[in-house]
Structure 1
Amino acid sequence: MTDSSRRADGEATSRLPLERRRAGETGTAERLALNRTGSFEWDLDARTVDVDEAGLMVFGLDSATFEASPSALIDRLDATDRARLEATIDEAMAGGSNSYSVHFQVPLEDGTHQWTHVQARILRSEDGRAHRVIGVVRDATAEVTHSAFVLDLEKRRRRQASIVERTTAAMSRAVTVDDVTAALTGPGGLVGVGADGLALGLVENSTLRLIALSGDSVEVLEGLGSGQLDATLPLGDTILSGRPRFITSLGALVRRYPVLEPHIGELQFRAVAYLPLIAQARSMGGLALFYRERTAFSADERILCLGLAAIVAQSLQRAILFDEEREFATGLQSAMLPRRIQEIEGGEIAVRYHAAWSGREVGGDWYDVITLPRGRIGVAVGDVQGHDTHAAAIMGQLRIALRAYAAEGHPPATVLARASRFLAELDTDRFATSTYAQVDLATGAVRVARAGHFGPLIRHTDGRVGVPQVRGGLPLGISSDFRDEEYPETRLDLVPGETLVLYTDGLVEEPGADVDAGVAALIHEVSGGPDGAEALADHLSDRLWERWGSGDDVALLVLRRSPDLGSPQAPRLHQYIHQADPQGLSEARSIVRQALTDWGLAGLADDAELVTGELLVNVLLHTEGGAVLTLEVLPEPVRRIRLSVQDRSSVWPRRRTPGETSTSGRGLLLLDAVAERWGIEPRGEGKAVWCEIGPGI
């Protein structure tokens, strides 16, 4: 390249900026200054800082008075900002970093503050020592303000999303209308919808019924909502028009609805959102949300309120449908159960039925009490397979058939066999389980048969609960299909004051748990429950049906034989001793001794306890059933006791003459020696051996 060409290129190059400046273009420094951005250079060794004109403008300083020292810049800052700036610089210097960036506020002459941003690079020598810092400083007020706005907007949106999530979760768990109102008014309900108060109303036959109120001072609305839909009231107006109303001051509320003026002083809210509840194009009611601090509703907030109303409306529609279906189901089931249970002589009886919480899926559980010939009663519980209206219909037919067979006086085995045949002839694929018992309250005799069902429980007078081993057959319907209609009977004794409990599986089945645990819980509650039949039925319902949940229906029957306590002058006790109970004999002897001590006849306890053991051993060894022990005090003039042991055997004991080495045969001889009088009496299906013991014997 020749010298002339180099000169030509240099002249062209030197002319280019000048031509651009003439065309109105600016240099880099000018462009930065126009954007309120300057530069600085900090000499760490000399402890001076050089700031250009644009940088001084950012700091709000005059170049004529500025001292080129770092303290002239830093000392002007507030303590908090100064500490943050110094900490950032010290950390970068000591940590070996080559740059740092920090935001802080610079005070201006008019008393305001300006957000400032410094971006700097640290220059170091070969040994790593920092000796100079160069960087830019700019006005970041617009950036920080915009960032704060974005953060606040994001925070509001997260809060709104959280409100929608919490409300959706709460409403998804609500099954009934009561569940919906509980979710809105219970703990955390108002927080969930982001309001300080709420009112919820449902439309029923052109009238408005407030079903939920929550929040301070909203109780004044209770008298201003329920009744005929009225467009002069805000909630009624919202429902009738189908349009939401967003009120941002109480004054505006009164101007729009003058009828509220006498009550406006009682409200402690500044803004209200009145929202129609619409589901499937039908107005169901209205929701009012009250706010103490809010003075405006943004577009997002209005959309949020409308979204909450839609969630509540859908939940209410589902809950109302469930309540209607449940009312239909329980009505159907109740219509098929006995309308009333007759009073019985010699005892008390209580029945309970609880439907499963499963909409129209009614169950097939039932109970029945049947008047029988010769003063007896029949009691039954049962369960038809399935949880639907078909199961309920079969239950109704089977219950009526079983009642008819029982009323004819047939024994339990025959009643269940005929009921099984009847169910098989219905041409259905359903089977049923049942326990049926004939009870004679005059004698306490109980004859029980069961078809694939739980056996009964017997609560004794001392609170112990027995689980009799009741033999059983196949479920009803199945037994006829298999031509096996054998339902063996088990005979039990119900002494005065004892209670018979019949139940279906819904009372003892807990989801995910073994049924034996449920039976054990039932036994525990029967033992610890009150004595009366009604009170015990309520106790079991409260403690078990509500404990397990509502997945299955329950039928419960409690029959108590009236207690026979005698009188204060002639008290009496009864105790049943089961043949399979190894502790029964020992407990009976203890009960006799304790009773005589309580009655002031402790002097007769030794003889009475001895006779009790002999008579009970004779029954338990030589008969095939249990025994009923009766101990009573005979009236004056001579106060003595009468002890009786009753069994079902018709074979009378024989007096024998045992040898010296015999281990048995001395029972009657011992009775002769201890008792003042004794004898044997026939008792219906068995006999009773009795004796009287007096103070002189």
Structure 2
Amino acid sequence: MRTDHGASPPRVGEVLDATGTGMWRWDHAAGSVAMDARAAELMGLAPEPVTVSTSVVRAKLHPVDFVELDGIITLAAAEGGIAEGRLRVVGDDGRVRWTVRARLRHLDADRGAGAVRRPGVGTGSVLVGTLVEAPESSEARSAVTGDWRRSREAFLLDAGRALAEARSTAEVLRVAAGLAMPGFSPDGLAVFGVKGDHLVVIGHYGHGEGDETPFLDMPLTTPYPAADVIRNGRAVYLSSPAEYQRRFPATWPLAERFGRQAWAFLPLVAGGRTLGAWMAAFSSPAAFTPDERSVLTTVARMLAQALSRASVHESERELSAGLQRTMRPAHKPDIKGMTVAARYVPTGGGLEVGGDWYDVIPLHAGRTALVIGDVQGHDVRAAGLMGQLRVALRAYAAEGHSPGAVLSRASRFLSGMAGVAHYDDPDTVEHVEDRFATCLYIEADPALGTLDIVRAGHPDPAIRLPDGTLMVRPTAGGLPLGVDPEADYPTTRLVLGPGETLLMCTDGLIETGGHDIDTGWARIRTVFAENPEADLEELADALVRTVHGPASHHWPGPLADRREDDIALLLLSRDAQAVPPRETGRRTVLSVAQSDASRIADARGQLRDLLYDWTAPDQVDGAVLMLSEMLTNVLVHTDGDALMVAEVTGRRGTRGLRVEVADGSDELPHRRNPGELASSGRGLVLLELLAGSWGVDPRGEGKAIWFELREDAPPPDWG
């Protein structure tokens, strides 16, 4: 056989010229198209190599053809496949000049130079291919056209709207289950997510309870279509059971029992990250034409975005709920002779948190502090400052400071917090703007009904009288907290009578809805007038309802969906049969100087004299012993003097004794375990054994340790 060694294969350029074929490159992400001279000529441009934007190509093609081309290119970019179609090129007058056949193949940038594709990383978006002139044909340009295309567009519009409105993962799955795709609708759906290196089922539809069990904790390395989609980021279409069994024989038995005839597994990609996979299963065979794949791909993209938004929203709600829990007392306070109700309603949108808060703080000697305040702003920083300020106020109140001193210290604290610069990274300093807070602080004595009120730029409190009249009580006030660290806060004393109710609130309750201070208080007065017999919980709900609609009956109140401003309110009512003022039968006070320990004996004698007719002699001996230990502890472990206050109240036979020993040291006593021969460390042990109750109260300067006994109490159990 003779071989012609002089022949050579035709070059690419010769073939392209001979067939009238042009080359082009479509960069879907960059929105640009590069063409050689022939492709540019076929596209109606000057016959020279050129790179243009996709908008230029759009202008040269029939509008319907460009929309279809853009859809199949998007699909090819997502699936790594081929995009082809017939395109009508139009002139400046809008008339069709000729028809070209376009073919583009996805160029996977991740597979260049032997690179290994990374799971969860999006594919490239560059396609390369050919353009060749084609005679106009009367044949259908697509397998599905006309009414189906209009139905598809309407379906995608409705699906996008419904998924955009879904606010939780459960709502997204419910919307996905109700989607009726034009011409072909799946009767089985599942959404898979990723947890670590395992596949998890987020939700499913069209399957029985427990059917998801084999897929709940499947490793991503499993030869299962959903795992393959998540690993590679490309859709998997299985048009028949035979194809499923051929491509995934190991996991075919898991799918066989459901009796489906076709499956589509598509990646759920949001923000360039593969979140999971969506399975659409069909009880009838499906060819998965380009149009059908385009619809499925679009739905998968919208579903991924909806699930991503829902996840963010649910995380925000979880954070919001955690922040709100820190804003309020953990338990409803129990104040003898008084009743408390409270509500907190956050502002709408975002994390649903703001700067409003309230608190109820138990103090020494049966007194209670009620606090309500509002940090400037409705953002996370306002909520953070509010939490820090709330803790600081609690600490200052627990130390025993007067109400004015509590707010003065809180103002200095907030001044130190505001305007501080912090670093997000070594090269960036973010300046934090100054913030201030308004606050109303009330120290209540349930027995006497007295209210010691200090106010820092906050709305005045109001009191409802027994006849239902609501009166705003003007009180002396100072600047908002954080404005002037040296500001003073005067105290106003009011008395809350039996049957009267105190209202403390933030300006959100007064001014929401376009009201000013006068019309806002008028609205609140109307609520009180219309609910004369309501208890405090019902009244609190009525106050919130008049501004924002129905409220919850559970402590500490409802969360709102849509709010103009935060609302916090506190209601304090003194029972009609309030506890009467203490009946002080007798009282003695004695100071024991550090330099005169002999006064301890005088204190013991004074206490015995005070209890001369006490009906339980053993209790008298125990009280004297405990007092001696308390005074000795002060003189031994501090550098200051001790002050004893002993008081007997009530009627003979049921009287109560309270003994306090105060000193100027901030160091709190600690219990120790003394040995048999130890000469100290027994004071707190004795208090636990002998006292009816006892405790340590921090004061503004120093502390007081106290114990109480009741005359009718049973003797201590020595067993």
Q: TM-score, normalised by structure 2?
A: 0.47
Identify which of structures 1 and 2 has the higher relative contact order when contacts are C-alpha pairs closer than 8 Å and 6+ apart. 2
Q: Which has the higher helix share?
A: 1
Q: Which has the larger radius of gyration?
A: 1
